[in-house]
Protein backbone atom coordinates (compact mmCIF):
# COMPACT_ATOMS: atom_id res chain seq x y z
CA UNK A 1 0.00 0.00 0.00
CA UNK A 2 2.82 2.42 0.83
CA UNK A 3 4.34 2.23 -2.65
CA UNK A 4 1.02 2.68 -4.44
CA UNK A 5 -0.14 5.53 -2.20
CA UNK A 6 3.13 7.45 -2.63
CA UNK A 7 3.12 7.18 -6.43
CA UNK A 8 -0.58 7.14 -7.36
CA UNK A 9 -2.34 8.52 -4.28
CA UNK A 10 -4.33 5.37 -3.55
CA UNK A 11 -3.00 2.14 -2.05
CA UNK A 12 -5.25 -0.45 -3.67
CA UNK A 13 -5.68 -2.64 -6.73
CA UNK A 14 -6.41 -0.28 -9.61
CA UNK A 15 -8.57 -2.48 -11.84
CA UNK A 16 -11.36 -5.04 -11.56
CA UNK A 17 -10.34 -8.69 -11.79
CA UNK A 18 -12.57 -9.40 -14.81
CA UNK A 19 -10.67 -6.74 -16.75
CA UNK A 20 -7.89 -9.28 -17.21
CA UNK A 21 -10.06 -10.66 -20.02
CA UNK A 22 -9.61 -7.32 -21.83
CA UNK A 23 -5.83 -7.12 -21.44
CA UNK A 24 -3.73 -7.66 -24.54
CA UNK A 25 -0.63 -8.60 -22.56
CA UNK A 26 -0.24 -9.63 -18.92
CA UNK A 27 2.84 -9.50 -16.71
CA UNK A 28 2.79 -11.56 -13.52
CA UNK A 29 5.62 -11.09 -11.03
CA UNK A 30 5.96 -12.42 -7.47
CA UNK A 31 2.66 -14.31 -7.65
CA UNK A 32 2.11 -18.06 -7.85
CA UNK A 33 -1.39 -17.17 -9.00
CA UNK A 34 -2.87 -20.58 -9.70
CA UNK A 35 -1.89 -21.84 -6.23
CA UNK A 36 -2.42 -18.75 -4.08
CA UNK A 37 -5.42 -17.24 -5.89
CA UNK A 38 -6.80 -20.21 -7.85
CA UNK A 39 -10.15 -18.64 -8.76
CA UNK A 40 -8.50 -15.58 -10.28
CA UNK A 41 -5.77 -17.85 -11.64
CA UNK A 42 -8.36 -19.67 -13.73
CA UNK A 43 -9.64 -16.31 -15.05
CA UNK A 44 -6.09 -15.34 -15.99
CA UNK A 45 -5.64 -18.62 -17.87
CA UNK A 46 -8.90 -17.94 -19.73
CA UNK A 47 -7.53 -14.57 -20.81
CA UNK A 48 -4.56 -16.36 -22.38
CA UNK A 49 -6.28 -19.46 -23.79
CA UNK A 50 -9.61 -18.01 -24.91
CA UNK A 51 -8.90 -14.31 -25.45
CA UNK A 52 -5.39 -14.55 -26.90
CA UNK A 53 -3.63 -12.38 -24.32
CA UNK A 54 0.16 -12.63 -24.24
CA UNK A 55 1.65 -13.68 -20.89
CA UNK A 56 5.00 -12.85 -19.30
CA UNK A 57 5.83 -14.56 -15.99
CA UNK A 58 8.71 -13.36 -13.82
CA UNK A 59 9.49 -15.86 -11.07
CA UNK A 60 12.55 -17.65 -9.63
CA UNK A 61 10.45 -20.87 -9.39
CA UNK A 62 8.95 -22.81 -12.26
CA UNK A 63 5.34 -22.23 -11.18
CA UNK A 64 2.43 -23.85 -13.02
CA UNK A 65 1.50 -20.58 -14.75
CA UNK A 66 4.67 -20.83 -16.82
CA UNK A 67 2.99 -23.57 -18.88
CA UNK A 68 0.76 -20.79 -20.29
CA UNK A 69 3.46 -18.13 -20.69
CA UNK A 70 4.97 -16.69 -23.86
CA UNK A 71 8.04 -15.57 -21.91
CA UNK A 72 9.43 -16.73 -18.56
CA UNK A 73 12.04 -14.56 -16.89
CA UNK A 74 13.70 -16.61 -14.15
CA UNK A 75 15.42 -13.94 -12.08
CA UNK A 76 17.29 -14.43 -8.81
CA UNK A 77 15.30 -14.00 -5.59
CA UNK A 78 15.26 -10.39 -4.47
CA UNK A 79 16.32 -8.78 -7.78
CA UNK A 80 12.88 -7.51 -8.84
CA UNK A 81 13.84 -3.81 -9.00
CA UNK A 82 16.70 -4.64 -11.36
CA UNK A 83 14.51 -6.84 -13.56
CA UNK A 84 11.64 -4.36 -13.83
CA UNK A 85 13.98 -1.39 -14.30
CA UNK A 86 15.82 -3.34 -17.01
CA UNK A 87 12.56 -3.75 -18.93
CA UNK A 88 12.00 0.01 -18.58
CA UNK A 89 15.54 0.81 -19.74
CA UNK A 90 14.93 -1.09 -22.98
CA UNK A 91 11.47 0.44 -23.51
CA UNK A 92 12.85 3.97 -23.11
CA UNK A 93 15.94 3.27 -25.20
CA UNK A 94 13.83 1.91 -28.05
CA UNK A 95 11.28 4.72 -27.83
CA UNK A 96 8.34 2.45 -27.02
CA UNK A 97 7.10 4.63 -24.14
CA UNK A 98 3.84 6.63 -24.23
CA UNK A 99 5.25 10.16 -24.46
CA UNK A 100 1.90 11.94 -24.43
CA UNK A 101 0.80 10.09 -21.29
CA UNK A 102 4.11 10.83 -19.55
CA UNK A 103 3.81 14.56 -20.29
CA UNK A 104 0.15 14.91 -19.31
CA UNK A 105 -0.19 12.57 -16.33
CA UNK A 106 3.17 12.12 -14.57
CA UNK A 107 5.91 14.05 -12.77
CA UNK A 108 9.48 13.30 -11.75
CA UNK A 109 10.55 12.03 -15.17
CA UNK A 110 14.07 13.51 -15.29
CA UNK A 111 15.24 12.02 -11.98
CA UNK A 112 13.55 8.73 -12.83
CA UNK A 113 15.11 8.57 -16.31
CA UNK A 114 18.57 9.20 -14.91
CA UNK A 115 18.18 6.32 -12.41
CA UNK A 116 16.99 3.92 -15.13
CA UNK A 117 20.18 4.53 -17.14
CA UNK A 118 22.04 2.30 -14.66
CA UNK A 119 19.93 -0.77 -15.52
CA UNK A 120 21.38 -1.72 -18.88
CA UNK A 121 20.54 -5.22 -20.17
CA UNK A 122 24.12 -6.27 -19.42
CA UNK A 123 23.99 -4.96 -15.84
CA UNK A 124 20.57 -6.57 -15.31
CA UNK A 125 21.88 -9.90 -16.59
CA UNK A 126 24.72 -9.65 -14.06
CA UNK A 127 22.34 -8.84 -11.18
CA UNK A 128 19.38 -11.08 -12.01
CA UNK A 129 20.75 -13.94 -14.09
CA UNK A 130 18.25 -13.18 -16.88
CA UNK A 131 19.89 -13.11 -20.29
CA UNK A 132 19.85 -9.74 -22.03
CA UNK A 133 18.17 -11.25 -25.10
CA UNK A 134 15.31 -12.65 -22.99
CA UNK A 135 14.89 -9.30 -21.25
CA UNK A 136 14.66 -7.58 -24.64
CA UNK A 137 12.09 -10.07 -25.91
CA UNK A 138 9.92 -9.53 -22.81
CA UNK A 139 10.21 -5.73 -23.08
CA UNK A 140 9.21 -5.77 -26.74
CA UNK A 141 6.26 -8.07 -26.11
CA UNK A 142 4.98 -6.03 -23.18
CA UNK A 143 5.45 -2.61 -24.77
CA UNK A 144 4.14 -3.39 -28.27
CA UNK A 145 1.17 -5.73 -27.69
CA UNK A 146 -1.40 -3.16 -26.54
CA UNK A 147 -2.97 -2.53 -23.14
CA UNK A 148 -0.96 -4.34 -20.48
CA UNK A 149 -2.00 -5.52 -17.00
CA UNK A 150 0.50 -6.15 -14.21
CA UNK A 151 -0.29 -8.49 -11.30
CA UNK A 152 1.87 -9.11 -8.27
CA UNK A 153 1.61 -10.61 -4.83
CA UNK A 154 3.85 -11.19 -1.82
CA UNK A 155 6.80 -12.25 -3.94
CA UNK A 156 7.08 -8.51 -4.62
CA UNK A 157 6.15 -7.07 -1.23
CA UNK A 158 7.81 -9.40 1.30
CA UNK A 159 11.31 -7.98 0.97
CA UNK A 160 13.45 -5.49 2.85
CA UNK A 161 12.97 -3.29 -0.23
CA UNK A 162 9.34 -4.24 -0.91
CA UNK A 163 8.15 -0.64 -1.30
CA UNK A 164 10.76 -0.09 -4.01
CA UNK A 165 9.58 -3.26 -5.74
CA UNK A 166 6.03 -1.87 -5.86
CA UNK A 167 7.28 1.49 -7.15
CA UNK A 168 9.15 -0.34 -9.92
CA UNK A 169 5.87 -1.99 -10.95
CA UNK A 170 4.18 1.44 -11.02
CA UNK A 171 7.01 2.97 -13.07
CA UNK A 172 6.63 0.30 -15.75
CA UNK A 173 2.89 0.87 -16.07
CA UNK A 174 3.25 4.66 -16.10
CA UNK A 175 5.76 4.85 -18.94
CA UNK A 176 3.44 2.71 -21.09
CA UNK A 177 0.24 4.54 -20.13
CA UNK A 178 -1.30 1.40 -18.65
CA UNK A 179 -2.95 3.09 -15.65
CA UNK A 180 -6.47 4.52 -15.70
CA UNK A 181 -7.41 2.27 -18.61
CA UNK A 182 -9.63 -0.83 -18.71
CA UNK A 183 -7.56 -4.00 -18.95
CA UNK A 184 -4.42 -2.44 -17.49
CA UNK A 185 -3.41 -1.39 -14.01
CA UNK A 186 -1.09 -2.21 -11.14
CA UNK A 187 -2.90 -5.00 -9.38
CA UNK A 188 -1.78 -6.45 -6.02
CA UNK A 189 -3.50 -9.74 -5.22
CA UNK A 190 -4.14 -9.54 -1.48
CA UNK A 191 -2.93 -12.37 0.72
CA UNK A 192 -6.12 -13.11 2.68
CA UNK A 193 -9.86 -12.81 2.16
CA UNK A 194 -10.45 -9.46 3.87
CA UNK A 195 -7.01 -7.87 3.99
CA UNK A 196 -8.27 -5.04 1.80
CA UNK A 197 -11.23 -4.52 4.13
CA UNK A 198 -9.01 -4.56 7.22
CA UNK A 199 -6.83 -1.83 5.68
CA UNK A 200 -9.91 0.13 4.60
CA UNK A 201 -11.20 0.00 8.17
CA UNK A 202 -8.06 1.53 9.64
CA UNK A 203 -6.17 -1.66 10.46
CA UNK A 204 -2.94 0.23 9.84
CA UNK A 205 -1.01 2.30 12.39
CA UNK A 206 -0.99 5.51 10.33
CA UNK A 207 -4.62 5.71 9.17
CA UNK A 208 -8.18 5.97 10.35
CA UNK A 209 -10.79 4.34 8.08
CA UNK A 210 -10.57 5.06 4.37
CA UNK A 211 -6.85 6.00 4.59
CA UNK A 212 -7.51 9.23 6.49
CA UNK A 213 -4.13 9.98 8.14
CA UNK A 214 -3.94 10.04 11.93
CA UNK A 215 -1.52 12.95 11.45
CA UNK A 216 -4.28 15.04 9.83
CA UNK A 217 -5.79 17.43 12.38
CA UNK A 218 -9.20 17.54 10.66
CA UNK A 219 -9.41 13.74 10.60
CA UNK A 220 -8.46 13.50 14.29
CA UNK A 221 -11.11 16.06 15.15
CA UNK A 222 -13.76 14.28 13.06
CA UNK A 223 -13.16 10.85 14.59
CA UNK A 224 -12.72 12.22 18.13
CA UNK A 225 -16.06 14.01 17.90
CA UNK A 226 -17.89 11.00 16.43
CA UNK A 227 -16.44 8.56 18.94
CA UNK A 228 -16.66 10.99 21.87
CA UNK A 229 -13.03 10.30 22.76
CA UNK A 230 -9.83 12.31 22.49
CA UNK A 231 -7.72 10.52 19.87
CA UNK A 232 -3.97 10.72 19.32
CA UNK A 233 -2.42 12.18 16.19
CA UNK A 234 0.65 9.95 16.60
CA UNK A 235 1.21 6.89 14.40
CA UNK A 236 1.08 3.53 16.14
CA UNK A 237 3.22 0.43 15.60
CA UNK A 238 2.99 -2.26 12.94
CA UNK A 239 2.78 -5.91 14.01
CA UNK A 240 6.47 -6.41 13.24
CA UNK A 241 7.32 -3.43 15.47
CA UNK A 242 5.04 -4.61 18.27
CA UNK A 243 6.65 -8.03 18.73
CA UNK A 244 10.14 -6.71 19.65
CA UNK A 245 8.52 -4.24 22.10
CA UNK A 246 6.68 -6.94 24.06
CA UNK A 247 7.79 -6.75 27.67
CA UNK A 248 9.17 -3.23 27.12
CA UNK A 249 6.87 -0.56 25.65
CA UNK A 250 4.11 -3.16 25.33
CA UNK A 251 2.98 -4.98 28.47
CA UNK A 252 -0.28 -6.43 27.15
CA UNK A 253 -1.26 -7.62 23.68
CA UNK A 254 -4.68 -8.40 22.17
CA UNK A 255 -4.47 -10.72 19.14
CA UNK A 256 -7.64 -11.18 17.07
CA UNK A 257 -7.74 -13.69 14.20
CA UNK A 258 -3.97 -13.72 13.76
CA UNK A 259 -1.43 -16.45 14.44
CA UNK A 260 2.02 -14.80 14.68
CA UNK A 261 3.50 -17.96 16.24
CA UNK A 262 3.40 -19.43 12.73
CA UNK A 263 3.16 -16.44 10.39
CA UNK A 264 5.82 -14.06 11.74
CA UNK A 265 9.54 -14.28 10.89
CA UNK A 266 12.19 -15.56 13.31
CA UNK A 267 9.69 -17.52 15.43
CA UNK A 268 12.07 -18.21 18.31
CA UNK A 269 12.26 -14.46 18.85
CA UNK A 270 8.45 -14.15 18.53
CA UNK A 271 7.92 -16.73 21.28
CA UNK A 272 10.53 -15.11 23.54
CA UNK A 273 8.81 -11.75 23.04
CA UNK A 274 5.27 -12.99 23.71
CA UNK A 275 6.41 -14.74 26.90
CA UNK A 276 7.71 -11.39 28.21
CA UNK A 277 4.20 -9.90 28.22
CA UNK A 278 2.30 -9.39 31.45
CA UNK A 279 -0.95 -10.28 29.69
CA UNK A 280 -1.78 -11.92 26.34
CA UNK A 281 -5.33 -12.20 25.01
CA UNK A 282 -6.16 -14.18 21.87
CA UNK A 283 -9.57 -14.08 20.20
CA UNK A 284 -9.96 -16.80 17.59
CA UNK A 285 -12.05 -19.73 16.35
CA UNK A 286 -9.43 -22.40 17.17
CA UNK A 287 -6.77 -22.86 19.82
CA UNK A 288 -3.93 -21.77 17.55
CA UNK A 289 -0.23 -21.93 18.37
CA UNK A 290 -0.48 -18.31 19.54
CA UNK A 291 -3.61 -18.98 21.60
CA UNK A 292 -1.75 -21.74 23.43
CA UNK A 293 0.51 -19.03 24.91
CA UNK A 294 -2.37 -16.77 25.95
CA UNK A 295 -3.52 -15.90 29.46
CA UNK A 296 -7.09 -15.58 28.16
CA UNK A 297 -8.67 -17.06 25.02
CA UNK A 298 -11.90 -15.50 23.77
CA UNK A 299 -13.78 -17.82 21.38
CA UNK A 300 -15.17 -16.00 18.35
CA UNK A 301 -17.09 -17.28 15.32
CA UNK A 302 -16.07 -18.14 11.77
CA UNK A 303 -16.93 -16.13 8.65
CA UNK A 304 -19.78 -18.55 7.90
CA UNK A 305 -21.49 -17.52 11.14
CA UNK A 306 -21.36 -13.77 10.51
CA UNK A 307 -23.45 -11.02 8.97
CA UNK A 308 -21.23 -8.29 7.60
CA UNK A 309 -19.06 -7.17 4.72
CA UNK A 310 -15.86 -8.37 3.10
CA UNK A 311 -13.86 -6.03 0.85
CA UNK A 312 -11.94 -8.15 -1.63
CA UNK A 313 -8.75 -7.61 -3.58
CA UNK A 314 -10.45 -5.47 -6.27
CA UNK A 315 -12.01 -3.17 -3.61
CA UNK A 316 -15.42 -4.82 -4.05
CA UNK A 317 -17.48 -4.60 -0.87
CA UNK A 318 -19.68 -7.70 -0.55
CA UNK A 319 -22.34 -8.59 2.01
CA UNK A 320 -22.06 -11.98 3.69
CA UNK A 321 -25.02 -13.74 5.30
CA UNK A 322 -24.60 -16.32 8.09
CA UNK A 323 -24.82 -19.85 6.72
CA UNK A 324 -24.54 -21.50 10.16
CA UNK A 325 -25.83 -20.75 13.61
CA UNK A 326 -23.03 -20.57 16.20
CA UNK A 327 -22.94 -23.44 18.69
CA UNK A 328 -21.35 -23.69 22.10
CA UNK A 329 -19.71 -21.00 24.17
CA UNK A 330 -18.81 -18.61 21.35
CA UNK A 331 -19.82 -15.03 20.56
CA UNK A 332 -19.69 -12.60 17.67
CA UNK A 333 -16.42 -10.66 17.57
CA UNK A 334 -18.16 -7.28 17.73
CA UNK A 335 -20.11 -8.36 20.83
CA UNK A 336 -16.90 -9.34 22.63
CA UNK A 337 -15.19 -6.08 21.71
CA UNK A 338 -18.25 -4.00 22.64
CA UNK A 339 -18.40 -5.68 26.07
CA UNK A 340 -14.73 -4.94 26.71
CA UNK A 341 -15.24 -1.33 25.58
CA UNK A 342 -18.17 -1.00 27.96
CA UNK A 343 -16.00 -2.15 30.87
CA UNK A 344 -13.60 0.63 29.93
CA UNK A 345 -16.51 3.07 30.15
CA UNK A 346 -17.33 3.44 26.47
CA UNK A 347 -20.35 2.31 24.42
CA UNK A 348 -19.82 0.63 21.04
CA UNK A 349 -22.50 -0.30 18.47
CA UNK A 350 -23.75 -3.85 19.00
CA UNK A 351 -25.26 -4.81 15.64
CA UNK A 352 -23.69 -5.16 12.18
CA UNK A 353 -26.18 -2.61 10.84
CA UNK A 354 -25.20 0.02 13.42
CA UNK A 355 -21.50 -0.66 12.82
CA UNK A 356 -22.04 -0.31 9.07
CA UNK A 357 -23.76 3.06 9.55
CA UNK A 358 -20.72 4.23 11.49
CA UNK A 359 -18.39 3.07 8.73
CA UNK A 360 -20.42 4.95 6.09
CA UNK A 361 -20.63 8.09 8.22
CA UNK A 362 -16.86 8.23 8.73
CA UNK A 363 -15.50 6.83 5.45
CA UNK A 364 -16.20 8.87 2.27
CA UNK A 365 -15.25 6.04 -0.10
CA UNK A 366 -17.88 3.79 1.54
CA UNK A 367 -20.61 6.43 2.02
CA UNK A 368 -22.79 5.26 -0.86
CA UNK A 369 -22.61 1.53 -0.11
CA UNK A 370 -25.75 0.40 1.73
CA UNK A 371 -26.56 -3.18 2.70
CA UNK A 372 -29.50 -3.05 0.29
CA UNK A 373 -27.30 -2.09 -2.67
CA UNK A 374 -24.85 -4.98 -2.11
CA UNK A 375 -27.35 -7.66 -1.11
CA UNK A 376 -26.91 -9.46 -4.45
CA UNK A 377 -23.69 -8.08 -5.97
CA UNK A 378 -20.97 -6.03 -4.30
CA UNK A 379 -19.79 -2.54 -5.24
CA UNK A 380 -16.16 -1.40 -5.64
CA UNK A 381 -15.14 1.68 -3.72
CA UNK A 382 -14.88 4.64 -4.01
CA UNK A 383 -18.65 4.96 -3.96
CA UNK A 384 -19.35 8.39 -2.43
CA UNK A 385 -23.18 8.43 -2.59
CA UNK A 386 -26.15 6.15 -3.09
CA UNK A 387 -26.56 7.00 -6.78
CA UNK A 388 -22.88 6.31 -7.56
CA UNK A 389 -22.26 3.01 -9.43
CA UNK A 390 -18.94 2.28 -7.72
CA UNK A 391 -15.49 2.52 -9.32
CA UNK A 392 -14.11 -0.64 -10.97
CA UNK A 393 -11.14 1.21 -12.53
CA UNK A 394 -9.17 3.79 -10.57
CA UNK A 395 -7.29 6.83 -11.91
CA UNK A 396 -9.34 7.32 -15.09
CA UNK A 397 -8.47 10.81 -16.36
CA UNK A 398 -6.71 11.85 -13.15
CA UNK A 399 -4.72 10.23 -10.36
CA UNK A 400 -5.76 10.51 -6.73
CA UNK A 401 -2.63 12.58 -6.06
CA UNK A 402 -3.10 14.67 -9.26
CA UNK A 403 -0.03 13.69 -11.29
CA UNK A 404 1.44 10.23 -10.80
CA UNK A 405 4.99 10.14 -9.48
CA UNK A 406 7.77 8.34 -11.34
CA UNK A 407 10.24 7.06 -8.73
CA UNK A 408 14.04 6.99 -9.19
CA UNK A 409 15.17 3.65 -7.77
CA UNK A 410 18.52 2.14 -6.86
CA UNK A 411 19.36 -1.55 -6.75
CA UNK A 412 19.49 -2.82 -3.17
CA UNK A 413 20.47 -6.41 -2.40
CA UNK A 414 18.49 -8.47 0.07
CA UNK A 415 19.41 -8.09 3.74
CA UNK A 416 20.98 -11.57 3.95
CA UNK A 417 22.65 -13.34 1.04
CA UNK A 418 24.16 -16.84 0.87
CA UNK A 419 27.76 -17.38 1.90
CA UNK A 420 30.13 -20.28 2.59
CA UNK A 421 28.40 -21.16 5.87
CA UNK A 422 24.83 -20.82 4.56
CA UNK A 423 25.13 -21.35 0.79
CA UNK A 424 21.44 -21.71 -0.17
CA UNK A 425 18.76 -19.07 -0.77
CA UNK A 426 15.56 -19.88 1.15
CA UNK A 427 12.18 -18.54 0.08
CA UNK A 428 8.80 -19.30 1.66
CA UNK A 429 5.21 -19.33 0.48
CA UNK A 430 2.07 -21.43 0.17
CA UNK A 431 0.89 -24.61 -1.46
CA UNK A 432 -2.41 -24.95 -3.30
CA UNK A 433 -4.00 -27.22 -0.70
CA UNK A 434 -3.40 -25.12 2.44
CA UNK A 435 -4.01 -21.57 3.57
CA UNK A 436 -1.82 -19.26 5.62
CA UNK A 437 -0.99 -20.74 9.06
CA UNK A 438 -3.14 -23.83 8.46
CA UNK A 439 -5.39 -23.12 11.44
CA UNK A 440 -8.41 -23.82 9.23
CA UNK A 441 -7.21 -25.77 6.18
CA UNK A 442 -5.21 -28.32 8.21
CA UNK A 443 -8.41 -29.12 10.12
CA UNK A 444 -10.13 -29.93 6.82
CA UNK A 445 -9.87 -33.70 6.52
CA UNK A 446 -9.49 -33.89 2.74
CA UNK A 447 -6.91 -31.11 2.50
CA UNK A 448 -4.89 -32.53 5.36
CA UNK A 449 -4.96 -35.95 3.72
CA UNK A 450 -3.68 -34.46 0.45
CA UNK A 451 -0.78 -32.60 2.10
CA UNK A 452 -0.42 -33.77 5.71
CA UNK A 453 3.05 -32.35 6.38
CA UNK A 454 5.62 -29.86 5.20
CA UNK A 455 8.58 -30.25 2.87
CA UNK A 456 11.53 -28.41 1.39
CA UNK A 457 11.84 -28.13 -2.39
CA UNK A 458 15.41 -28.54 -3.61
CA UNK A 459 16.90 -28.86 -7.05
CA UNK A 460 18.24 -32.28 -8.18
CA UNK A 461 21.78 -30.85 -8.39
CA UNK A 462 21.64 -29.75 -4.74
CA UNK A 463 20.05 -33.05 -3.72
CA UNK A 464 22.93 -34.94 -5.35
CA UNK A 465 25.47 -32.63 -3.74
CA UNK A 466 24.01 -33.39 -0.30
CA UNK A 467 23.37 -37.08 -0.97
CA UNK A 468 19.64 -36.60 -0.40
CA UNK A 469 16.90 -38.59 -2.14
CA UNK A 470 13.33 -37.50 -2.69
CA UNK A 471 11.22 -38.22 0.41
CA UNK A 472 14.16 -38.41 2.81
CA UNK A 473 14.21 -36.51 6.10
CA UNK A 474 16.49 -33.48 6.18
CA UNK A 475 17.24 -30.55 8.46
CA UNK A 476 17.27 -26.95 7.25
CA UNK A 477 19.20 -24.41 9.27
CA UNK A 478 19.58 -20.63 9.16
CA UNK A 479 21.19 -18.15 11.53
CA UNK A 480 17.91 -18.03 13.48
CA UNK A 481 17.05 -21.69 13.95
CA UNK A 482 16.68 -25.22 12.62
CA UNK A 483 13.76 -27.37 11.45
CA UNK A 484 13.40 -30.97 10.29
CA UNK A 485 11.26 -31.74 7.27
CA UNK A 486 11.03 -33.90 4.12
CA UNK A 487 12.99 -33.38 0.91
CA UNK A 488 10.98 -32.78 -2.27
CA UNK A 489 13.48 -33.02 -5.13
CA UNK A 490 12.22 -30.95 -8.08
CA UNK A 491 13.46 -28.65 -10.81
CA UNK A 492 10.68 -26.26 -9.81
CA UNK A 493 13.39 -24.39 -7.85
CA UNK A 494 16.64 -23.17 -9.35
CA UNK A 495 20.00 -24.67 -8.33
CA UNK A 496 21.16 -23.04 -5.11
CA UNK A 497 17.60 -22.24 -4.03
CA UNK A 498 15.16 -23.96 -1.68
CA UNK A 499 11.48 -23.31 -0.97
CA UNK A 500 9.50 -24.19 2.17
CA UNK A 501 5.73 -23.69 2.61
CA UNK A 502 5.02 -21.95 5.91
CA UNK A 503 1.70 -23.64 6.87
CA UNK A 504 3.19 -26.34 9.08
CA UNK A 505 3.84 -25.40 12.72
CA UNK A 506 5.75 -28.63 13.43
CA UNK A 507 8.30 -27.69 10.73
CA UNK A 508 7.73 -23.95 10.64
CA UNK A 509 9.54 -22.17 7.83
CA UNK A 510 9.41 -18.97 9.85
CA UNK A 511 11.75 -20.41 12.45
CA UNK A 512 14.33 -19.75 9.73
CA UNK A 513 13.22 -16.53 8.05
CA UNK A 514 14.90 -13.17 8.50
CA UNK A 515 13.09 -10.46 10.47
CA UNK A 516 14.83 -7.68 8.53
CA UNK A 517 12.17 -5.09 7.67
CA UNK A 518 11.42 -2.72 4.82
CA UNK A 519 12.24 0.71 6.31
CA UNK A 520 9.02 2.31 5.04
CA UNK A 521 6.27 -0.24 5.69
CA UNK A 522 8.02 -2.63 8.12
CA UNK A 523 7.18 -5.81 6.21
CA UNK A 524 9.64 -8.69 6.81
CA UNK A 525 11.91 -10.29 4.24
CA UNK A 526 10.17 -13.67 4.00
CA UNK A 527 11.34 -14.31 0.45
CA UNK A 528 15.14 -14.28 0.84
CA UNK A 529 17.47 -15.54 3.53
CA UNK A 530 20.59 -17.68 3.72
CA UNK A 531 20.23 -21.33 4.74
CA UNK A 532 21.91 -24.69 4.61
CA UNK A 533 20.70 -28.27 4.23
CA UNK A 534 21.75 -31.21 6.41
CA UNK A 535 21.01 -34.84 5.66
CA UNK A 536 19.68 -36.70 8.69
CA UNK A 537 21.21 -40.07 9.50
Q: Annotate 488-508 with DSSP letters as a single string.
A: EE-TTSPTTEEEEES--GGG-
Give the Cα separation of 153 and 311 in Å (integer). Answer: 17
Q: What's residue 193's pLDDT? A: 85
pLDDT at 537 exceeding the cut of 80:
no
Give the Cα separation of 330 and 327 in Å (integer): 7
Burial (Cβ within 10 Å: 0-12, 13-18, ≥19) of residue 121: buried
pLDDT, tens digit (0-9, with 9 covering 90-100), for 97-117: 999 999 999 999 999 999 999
Question: pLDDT by residue (tens digit) across 346-403?
Answer: 888 899 999 999 999 999 999 999 999 999 999 999 999 999 999 999 999 999 899 9
224, containing H or E segment: helix 217-227
Angle at 257 between CA 255 and CA 260, to 5 degrees: 60
- Fold classification of 424-535 is Barwin-like endoglucanases (2.40.40)
How many CB atoms lie under 10 A from the CB of residue 147? Answer: 19
**pLDDT-based confidence at 1, cuts 50/70/90?**
confident
Q: Where are the beta strands (DSSP E) in 155-293?
A: 186-188, 252-256, 279-284
Contact call for residues 516 and 157 (beta carbons, < 8 A) = no
Please choose, from the candidates 9, 19, 119, the residue with its C-alpha nearest in 3D space to the C-alpha of residue 411: 119
Which residues, other chains included, contact 488 with Cβ-Cβ below 8 Å and sequence gap of 6+? 455, 456, 457, 458, 470, 471
CATH of 2-189, one of 3.40.228.10, 2.102.10.10, 1.10.645.10, 3.10.129.10: 3.40.228.10
Is residue 70's pLDDT more than 90? yes
Instruction: Sketch the domain layout of the chain as residue ranges.
Output: 2-189, 191-236+300-386, 240-292, 424-535
At 105 the three-state DSSP class reads helix
- Strand ranges inside 321-393, DSSP E: 379-380
Rounded distance between C-alpha atoms, residue 497 and residue 530, angstroms = 9
CA distance 65 to 189: 15
Coil, helix or strand for 192? coil
User: In whole angstroms, what is the distance from residue 262 CA to residue 241 CA?
Assistant: 17
Tell me the pLDDT tens digit for each residue of 225-278. Answer: 999 999 999 999 999 999 999 999 999 999 999 999 999 999 999 999 999 999
CATH class of the structural domain 191-236+300-386: alpha beta
DSSP letters spanning 137-174: HHHHHHHHSSSEEEEE-HHHHSSTTHHHHHHHHHHHHH
**pLDDT at res. 97:** 98
Amino acid sequence: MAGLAATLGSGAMTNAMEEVLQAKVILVIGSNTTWNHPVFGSLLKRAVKDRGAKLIVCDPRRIDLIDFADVWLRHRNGTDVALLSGLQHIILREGWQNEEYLKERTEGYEAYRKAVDFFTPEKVEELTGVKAADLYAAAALYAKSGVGALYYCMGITQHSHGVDNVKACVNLQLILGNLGVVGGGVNPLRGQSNVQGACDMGGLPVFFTGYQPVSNAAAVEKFSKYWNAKLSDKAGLTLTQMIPECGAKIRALYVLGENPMVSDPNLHHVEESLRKLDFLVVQDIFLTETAQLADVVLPGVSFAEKLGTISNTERRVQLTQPALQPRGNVRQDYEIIADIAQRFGHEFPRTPEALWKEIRDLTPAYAGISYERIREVGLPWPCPNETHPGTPTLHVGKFSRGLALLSPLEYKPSAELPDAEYPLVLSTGRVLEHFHTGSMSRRAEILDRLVPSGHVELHPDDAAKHGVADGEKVAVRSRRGRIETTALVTDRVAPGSIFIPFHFAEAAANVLTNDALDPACKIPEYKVCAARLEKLA
